[in-house]
Amino acid sequence: MNCFECQIDSGRISTAAGICSACGAAVCVEHATMDAVQVEVTSVGNPSVQLLPGRLLHCSTCHAAIGRADAGGRAGVLTAA
């Protein structure tokens, strides 16, 4: 399977390394991003965020879209450092 992002960006054919968990596109290592599932943990006076173990792979397009939504505070994923 080939990377969808490489083909639409530059017409280049690159072997895919994974599948975007949001849109299902095959992506190469260059276009894949690792995110983490974020869960809001609320207790009285101490709201916090917990990152669940494991990984969530996204293509660069979905990663950018989620980042914009995350800035508004409603997305369920966060970029892992």
C-alpha distances (whole Å) from 29 to each of 23, 35, 76 are: 16, 14, 23
31 vs 35, beta carbon nearer Zn ion: 31
For the CB of residue 15, give the shortest distance to Zn ion in the complex, in Å.
9
Q: Is 31 in the site for Zn ion (CB under 5 A)?
A: yes
Task: Tell me which residues in 41-70 interact with Zn ion (CB under 5 A).
Answer: 59, 62
Q: How far is the CB of 73 from Zn ion (least distance, A)?
A: 21
Cβ 3 vs Cβ 28: under 8 Å: yes
Location of structure tokens 């101490």: 46
The alpha carbon of 7 is separated from its chain's Cα centroid by a whole number of angstroms, namely 19
By CB under 5 A, name the binding residues for Zn ion: 3, 5-6, 14, 20, 22-23, 25, 28, 30-31, 59, 62
